[in-house]
Amino acid sequence: MLASVALTAAVAGPKAPRKGHGPAAQAERPGVPRYGMAVYSDLCVNQESGEYGGQRVTLQRFAEVDTVVYEFTAGGLSWPLVAVDVNVDPRGKMIYFTVQPPDEDERTISGEFSPDGETLTLDGGYCQDQSQPMVLAKVKDFGAKAKSCKACPQPKAEPVKPDYKHEAVAPAQG
């Protein structure tokens, strides 16, 4: 009888917290959390045309697999593209995935999460000279109105090189 009471007390007793788990441990880990869902977006509205610009990445992290739904703009918002070959590194700092837009070649998109997981910076950039990085902020207010798009800076003029003309020179005689 005493043994069964001791066994019951041992089973029903409080559990000691496991190291490396829980909110405190997650706060110590940089990057994107291992489980859950996050939406990163830089969608904006062009004030002149009213068209959307930018991209949105919806990342879902499950125990079995990570998934991504990718949306981009080309005048209007694209149909959501379900990515294949989704890879988030074990530290939650980098991501790459592959999408195939309709009537286009397959492309791989890659980027890096900020240390706090609040932004996703995709490789490449906006504008012709790619001077504006593609930084997508983590969406926290899904009812918020889209921001105004920023115009690309004017391209820098290439320095004018003097146009040298070569004149025929008579061979030296001597």
**pLDDT tens-digit series, residues 64-112:** 999 999 999 877 777 899 999 999 999 999 999 999 988 889 999 999 9
Does the structure show a pLDDT above 80 at 11? no
149 belongs to a structural domain: no
User: With bands split at pLDDT 50, 70 and 90, how would you rate the model's confidence at 169?
Assistant: low
DSSP codes of every residue in 98-146: EE--TTS--EEEEEEE-TTSSEEEEEEEESTT--EEEEEEEP--TTPPP
Task: Flag whether 170 is in a domain.
Answer: no
pLDDT at 6 over 60: no
Model confidence band, residue 17 (pLDDT cutoffs 50, 70, 90): very low
162 assigned to some structural domain: no
42 falls within a domain = yes
Burial 21-58 (b: 16+ CB within 10 A, else e): eeeeeeeeeebbeeeeebbbbbbbbeeeeeebbbbbbb
Q: What is the CATH number of the domain that holds 58?
A: 2.40.128
Average pLDDT, the chain: 80
Query: Which position has the higher pLDDT, 46 or 153?
Result: 46
Burial class (CB within 10 angstroms; exposed 0-12, middle 13-18, buried 19+) of 92: middle
pLDDT at residue 78, rounded to an integer:
79
Q: 10 Å Cβ neighbour count for 133?
A: 13
- Let me know: does 149 contact 135? Beta carbons within 8 Å: no
pLDDT value at position 98?
A: 96
* pLDDT at position 95: 97
Residue 37, domain member (yes or no): yes
Q: Is there a domain that residue 153 lies in?
A: no
Rounded CA gap, 88 and 143, in Å? 28
Lowest mean pLDDT among 41-45, 49-53, 68-72: 49-53
The string of pLDDT tens digits covering residues 127-140 is 777 777 899 999 99
Say how far apart CA 132 and CA 135 lie, in whole Å: 9
- Residue 20 falls within a domain, yes or no? no
Number of domains in the chain: 1
Which domain, by its residues, includes 93? 29-141
* Residue 132 within a domain: yes
